[in-house]
Amino acid sequence: MTTATPLMLASGIVKRFGALVANDSVDLAIGPGEVHALLGENGAGKSTLVKILYGLLQPDAGTLAWEGRTISLKSPAEARRLGIGMVFQHFSLFEALTVAENVALALDGTEPVSAVADRLVSVSEAYGLPLDPRREVWRLSVGERQRIEIVRCLMQNPRLLILDEPTSVLTPQETEGLFATLARIKAEGCAILYISHKLEEVRRICDRATILRHGKVVATCDPRQESAASLAQMMVGSKVMPTRHEPVLSDQAPFLRVQDLSLRSPDPHGTHLSGIDLEVRPGEITGIAGVAGNGQDELFAALSGEILAARAEVIILAGQPVGHGDINTRRKLGAAFVPEERLGHAAAPRLSLSDNALLAGHATNGFVRSGLVDKPGTLGWVDRVVAAFDVRKGPRDPAASALSGGNLQKFVVGRDILRNPRLLIVSQPTWGVDAGAAALIRQALVDLARSGAAVLVISQDLDELFEIADRMAVIFHGRLSPAQPTAGLAREAVGLLMGGSGFGPGEARARDAA
């Protein structure tokens, strides 16, 4: 609940990056013991604002006040000393160090690691976030890694805790545990600024919400009195249509068949695949759920041809063994691939969109004729993708790095969907994108499947998979559960599989084999 004197008050915050106004006279008031949501589509200015609140950026205009006193935060260290802690969406941990060593590095002062370890155990148990201070980070699950980030913030006795997409990599059971912890923190008077694209979560746990659009505050509301649809509409400025999807089960022969795929990860901290069996049929979306780090990257690499299998017949595509075939061999058979990392893997940052289209489509799109690149053809292809997927950009053919994350995601997904592939394999299709862009991408995936394509979606977003998948499997420690019709699945059962229940003994992870 807000009070006459907010704990944190941002008034008239302006932040410019060249001609771009990321924050345009933003006002934000957060009261003690309040869970306050900060919502907005990609590029709305959320990240810029919280970086200012945490001392990573300084505003060009406007003021910050802490308990009524005007402050100037020149660094995160100053913010932490004041009582502001932040847990970023992407973890900042040293994998080769122990939990205690990672926490000690983040604390200001010269407290011995042994003392940090003792205090870490006490704090983590008090808040229901148990951690073993002696374990190396590379041995931990993603959920345990997030506990480290939260606990090391709590060890600094924060009065304002900023959480950026905190449930994006958690199982449903881990999410419930996090919510219980947040309720305890709130009861102690700590304020929480909560950033999430999961609007049902916001409605459940947040007392107020501030909504940004194009750098400006467009609404402040009680999210508990709103629907997820009305919140999304305030974020994007128009009605967000729900995905049109009725689950179907195809009786056609699998276009992709994987039989007993085992693979050692080339990453020493990665996950080995063990005995993977999988079928993907035309007309269906098959979803693979799982917490990050359980073999999703290795499975995508094996299916796309970035890593070759030991035996060709382990992967059958369009009736042909392709386990030894490279990515272009598989593309020529009708497959398309969209990896999780959009900037650096799906797209080369410094290259233009047309050059990126050429890299992905030179073997199949007719962009190269008699050894010559059809530049007008690649530009025309970019124009088609931009129009079909509402990719917002400046020049006609900018560098990939010039696009916002959400717009680049729409481009890399659209680039392959418009090819009308017979098989599309996409990893984290709506990772970090706003409600409007997510709805557009999900509907495009459903429409592609209903046109007769086989679609495989690897996603950490369980809500997404229940919304669009016809069948669903779970990957855990490099092993894959049998795919089951989504219509008959309980969310709790999938969550248990994501946590390892039902897989039996045995580990396939490189880190647990060490």
Better pLDDT: 104 or 174? 104
**pLDDT of 465 above 80:** yes
Using CA atoms, how far apart are residues 90 and 384, in angstroms rounded to an integer? Answer: 33
Task: Average the pLDDT over 305-332 and give the result.
Answer: 96
The string of pLDDT tens digits covering residues 197-240 is 889 999 999 999 999 998 999 999 999 999 988 998 999 888 77
**pLDDT of 3 above 70:** no
How confident is the model at residue 108, as a pLDDT?
A: 67
- Percent of the chain clearing pLDDT 90 (strictly above): 61
Residue 436 domain-assigned (yes or no): yes
Q: What would the DSSP string read from start to end of 41-63?
A: -TTSSHHHHHHHHTTSS--SEEE
pTM: 0.77
- pLDDT bin (cut points 50, 70, 90) of residue 109 is low
**pLDDT of 2 above 50:** no
**Do residues 224 and 266 share a domain?**
no
**Do residues 65 and 134 share a domain?**
yes
Residue 2 domain-assigned (yes or no): no
Instruction: Decide: 212 and 40 in contact? Cβ < 8 Å.
Output: yes
As for how many domains the chain has, the answer is: 3
Lowest mean pLDDT among 24-28, 145-149, 308-312: 145-149
**pLDDT of 194 above 90:** yes
* 324 φ, ψ (degrees, to nearest 5): -100, 5
User: How many angstroms separate the Cα of 493 from the Cα of each of 210, 284, 471?
Assistant: 34, 22, 14
**Do residues 86 and 13 share a domain?**
yes
User: How many angstroms separate the Cα of 367 from the Cα of each of 67, 350, 383, 400, 456?
Assistant: 61, 20, 14, 19, 26
**pLDDT of 127 above 70:** yes
Interacting residues of 243 by C-beta distance below 8 A, sequence separation 6+:
439, 442, 443, 446, 467, 468
**Do residues 160 and 297 share a domain?**
no
Lowest mean pLDDT among 108-112, 173-177, 253-257, 472-476: 108-112
**Do residues 350 and 451 share a domain?**
no
Residue 243 domain-assigned (yes or no): no
Lowest mean pLDDT among 162-171, 207-216, 333-342: 162-171
Residue 429 domain-assigned (yes or no): yes
**pLDDT of 61 above 90:** yes
**Do residues 214 and 258 share a domain?**
no
How confident is the model at residue 362, as a pLDDT?
A: 84
**pLDDT of 476 above 90:** yes
Residue 27 domain-assigned (yes or no): yes
User: How many angstroms separate the Cα of 221 from the Cα of each of 39, 226, 274, 380?
Assistant: 11, 8, 49, 43
How confident is the model at residue 93, as a pLDDT?
A: 87
Residue 395 domain-assigned (yes or no): yes
Residue 244 domain-assigned (yes or no): no
Looking up tokens 């696009």 gives 403
**pLDDT of 513 above 50:** no
How confident is the model at residue 1, as a pLDDT?
A: 44
**pLDDT of 288 above 90:** yes
CATH code: domain of residue 279:
3.40.50.300
Q: What domain range includes position 59?
A: 8-236
Better pLDDT: 77 or 254? 254
**Do residues 292 and 221 share a domain?**
no
The string of pLDDT tens digits covering residues 399-452 is 998 887 788 999 999 999 999 999 999 999 998 777 888 889 999 999 999 999
**Do residues 354 and 393 share a domain?**
yes
Residue 247 domain-assigned (yes or no): no
Of 209, 236, 263, the last residue of a domain is 236
Instruction: Decide: 45 and 57 in contact? Cβ < 8 Å.
Output: no
**Do residues 103 and 44 share a domain?**
yes
- pLDDT bin (cut points 50, 70, 90) of residue 361 is confident
The mean predicted confidence, pLDDT, of the chain is 89
Using CA atoms, how far apart are residues 221 and 231, in angstroms rounded to an integer? Answer: 9
How confident is the model at residue 129, as a pLDDT?
A: 82
**Do residues 432 and 310 share a domain?**
yes
Of 358, 385, 420, the last residue of a domain is 420
Q: What secondary structure letter does DSSP report for 464? A: H
How confident is the model at residue 239, as a pLDDT?
A: 79
How confident is the model at residue 512, as a pLDDT?
A: 42
How far from chain centre, in Å, is Cα 208?
24
Using CA atoms, how far apart are residues 85 and 66, in angstroms rounded to an integer? Answer: 14
Q: What secondary structure letter does DSSP report for 70? A: E
**Do residues 470 and 367 share a domain?**
no
Using CA atoms, how far apart are residues 144 and 128, in angstroms rounded to an integer? Answer: 12
Of 206, 236, 266, the last residue of a domain is 236
Contacts of 364-370 spanning 24+ positions with Cβ under 8 A: 364/331, 364/332, 364/419, 365/419
**Do residues 330 and 429 share a domain?**
yes
Return the C-alpha torsion angle 461, 463, 469, 473, nearest 10. 60
Instruction: Decide: 473 and 479 in contact? Cβ < 8 Å.
Output: no
- CA angle at 60 for the pair 436 and 7, rounded to the nearest 5°: 75
